[in-house]
A and B are shown apart, each in its own frame.
Chain A
């Protein structure tokens, strides 16, 4: 058996190329402390506070009428926005990756807009357009259509915020994969839809799932934009993040942290699933 030349060589890095041991441990230590202090500790606090008064109080906080309504609304908003964002994302990415047309760069910039605009501003835009004092306000109230301080407003605000997630994920992926396989499918007699479902979609599925996952996490967790347009009507227009805030402001800590623990759970699930997807994507290409 060959003896390792030095302690570092079994990790594949010769001693001469690696940093001194104290520096490595210090760097690792600092990273761990920061992660622990700012990421793990809050998460643990959420759980401790949620269970501060025991299991039954936790369960009760989550099954109370307003909490259930908030969960239902959050799921409803995600169920509407995620498919819409997915359809938009796939079509936009397909357009951008496949064709050259005037205004293509403008479209890419527009898709990125929600990333650069503060969510609160996004919410305000909708209030300015659809609110009682907004451009379309009088017309909407004349026709008895409620958008602001109602579910449609929340959906619109969430759509705005989650718009880029799928498209941004797919554009580079589809550009890299190229057009040839689709052309091959067409030349073999496949229709446009057959080509999409049998060739395009299988090639982008991991990237697509990744985008959908991030989009879903954002749709369920969005606070700023939704807060502006929701009006915080209990049991009607409170999503889970808003329910957390309202409960906390009312010193109802168990209710606030119980709901927060659900959102934290969603985040952890998203992270695990995301890692799995990244692993899949790297493996399958």
Chain B
């Protein structure tokens, strides 16, 4: 089901949670609402669900204006951050809940419900837990049961609030992939809220970056990463080195290969893997000292110090593959040559 939001605004007292948000989401997408805490992403999700009422603006699901519709008429499945499983019901009863509260005319027979619940339990690979109570489950299991419960009513839209927020790092990694595969299998339009850019990049087909109640950028993960619309998005998505013409000498930046193309450009963001580090070939090359490095698994992160300055804010981070680093055979304190392969320039934002 397609989702269209137009000019959604929401205010909590003096705090502007959402400022005229407009957004189109095509059917079958898996969208991440990404932003720092307090950016309004959860509020937006709750407004789509109907759990919160917008002060102004409209919500359209599949072309229908549902702005005034209560949550139960919106055909959404909502997965809560802390799962909100019914604590006095077994896993089975939790999943069957949405099927059993339907009006008598639409309600399935108990045998059909039984089969359906077990199918869902198999889908989330937890059929063996059907008679447990929520408090007997681990976080990851609760998460999957919450998802199965939301899917039981065959929602047209699946909304997930920080679905992996409360889980261990390793469980989170597994569930991310699993959610992606599940979405692929069911193809139900889904939106999830996260503050973790890595999670958004890994799971979503579209990312919406929010900040201060406004949309900063919407696009595929590669668009967001490779062509950030502004310096906020660039800084929020992945690591970046920041060069500012107000502090850094333009001539010196030029020797690194950093040249502004537009007269308004003032700040350059450079991803660590866009910095090439070589052994120095000539004596005139700028003095850059390799201060330290860290193993990040397949890549090595180098800490580079221009002109041998010690101030931590002047440290430049570069990343290169493990084997390349071994080829270079560098030691701490070595002088290196450095080139910037690619940079994003931004004008100064007020």
Q: Which residues of A contact B (CB under 8 A)?
A: 180-181, 183-191, 194, 198-199, 202-203, 284-285
Asked if B87 contacts A285 (CB within 8 A), the reply is yes
Contacts of A202 in B (CB 8 A): 86, 88
Pick the contact of B86: A184, A191, A285 (CB < 8 A): A184
Closest 8 A-B residue pairs measured CB to CB?
A: A188-B98, A180-B84, A187-B78, A184-B84, A190-B101, A202-B88, A189-B72, A186-B71
**Taking A180-B84, A181-B87 as contacts, is the C-beta distance between A189 and B78 under 8 angstroms?**
no
Across the interface, name the chain A residue whose C-beta is closest to B146.
A184
Residue B153 interfacial (CB < 8 Å) = yes
**A189 CA / B107 CA spacing, docked (Å):** 12
**A181 CA / B94 CA spacing, docked (Å):** 11
A-B pairs with beta carbons under 8 Å apart, 23 shown: A180-B80, A180-B84, A181-B84, A181-B85, A181-B87, A183-B51, A183-B78, A184-B85, A184-B149, A185-B97, A186-B71, A186-B72, A187-B72, A187-B150, A188-B101, A188-B152, A188-B153, A189-B72, A189-B101, A194-B101, A198-B86, A198-B101, A284-B88
**A185 CA / B76 CA spacing, docked (Å):** 12
**A186 CA / B71 CA spacing, docked (Å):** 6
Contacts of A186 in B (CB 8 A): 51, 70-72
Contacts of B153 in A (CB 8 A): 188-189
Contacts of A187 in B (CB 8 A): 49, 51, 71-72, 76-78, 150
B44 to chain A, nearest CB (A): 16
**A31 CA / B78 CA spacing, docked (Å):** 55
Across the interface, name the chain B residue whose C-beta is closest to A284.
B88
Asked if A184 contacts B80 (CB within 8 A), the reply is yes
Residue B135 interfacial (CB < 8 Å) = yes
Asked if B72 contacts A191 (CB within 8 A), the reply is yes
Contacts of A188 in B (CB 8 A): 72, 97-98, 101, 149-150, 152-153
Contacts of A185 in B (CB 8 A): 86, 97, 101
Residue B60 interfacial (CB < 8 Å) = no
Contacts of A198 in B (CB 8 A): 86, 97, 101
Most chain B Cβ neighbours within 10 Å, of A183, A187, A194 = A187
Asked if B101 contacts A184 (CB within 8 A), the reply is no
Asked if A203 contacts B78 (CB within 8 A), the reply is no
B109-153 contact mask (Cβ, 8 Å, vs A): 1 or 0 = 000000000000000000000000001000000000000011011
Contacts of B180 in A (CB 8 A): none
Please report whether the interface of chain A is mostly helix, strand, loop or mixed according to DSSP: helix
**A285 CA / B49 CA spacing, docked (Å):** 29
Asked if A203 contacts B101 (CB within 8 A), the reply is no
Residue B102 interfacial (CB < 8 Å) = yes
**A241 CA / B294 CA spacing, docked (Å):** 81
Contacts of A183 in B (CB 8 A): 51, 71, 78, 80, 84
**A185 CA / B72 CA spacing, docked (Å):** 9
A206 to chain B, nearest CB (A): 10
A285 to chain B, nearest CB (A): 7
Contacts of A184 in B (CB 8 A): 78, 80, 84-86, 149
Given contact pairs A181-B85, A184-B85, A186-B71, a sample of 19 additional A-B residue pairs in the complex whose CB atoms are under 8 Å apart: A180-B82, A181-B84, A181-B86, A183-B80, A184-B84, A184-B149, A185-B86, A185-B97, A188-B72, A188-B97, A188-B153, A189-B98, A190-B72, A190-B97, A191-B101, A198-B101, A203-B87, A284-B88, A285-B135
**A53 CA / B51 CA spacing, docked (Å):** 68
**A187 CA / B152 CA spacing, docked (Å):** 12
Across the interface, name the chain B residue whose C-beta is closest to A189.
B72
Contacts of B86 in A (CB 8 A): 181, 184-185, 198-199, 202
**A194 CA / B70 CA spacing, docked (Å):** 15
**A185 CA / B94 CA spacing, docked (Å):** 10
Contacts of A284 in B (CB 8 A): 88
Across the interface, name the chain B residue whose C-beta is closest to A202.
B88
**A185 CA / B90 CA spacing, docked (Å):** 15
**A189 CA / B101 CA spacing, docked (Å):** 7
B320-347 contact mask (Cβ, 8 Å, vs A): 1 or 0 = 0000000000000000000000000000
B150-194 contact mask (Cβ, 8 Å, vs A): 1 or 0 = 101100000000000000000000000000000000000000000
**A188 CA / B72 CA spacing, docked (Å):** 7
Across the interface, name the chain A residue whose C-beta is closest to B159.
A187
B323 to chain A, nearest CB (A): 49
Across the interface, name the chain A residue whose C-beta is closest to B70.
A186
Contacts of B97 in A (CB 8 A): 185, 188, 190, 198
B229 to chain A, nearest CB (A): 33
B99 to chain A, nearest CB (A): 9
Contacts of B98 in A (CB 8 A): 188-190
A200 to chain B, nearest CB (A): 10
**Taking A187-B51, A189-B102, A285-B135 as contacts, is the C-beta distance between A203 and B150 under 8 angstroms?**
no
Which residues of B1-60 have CB atoms within 8 Å of chain A's CB atoms?
Answer: 49, 51
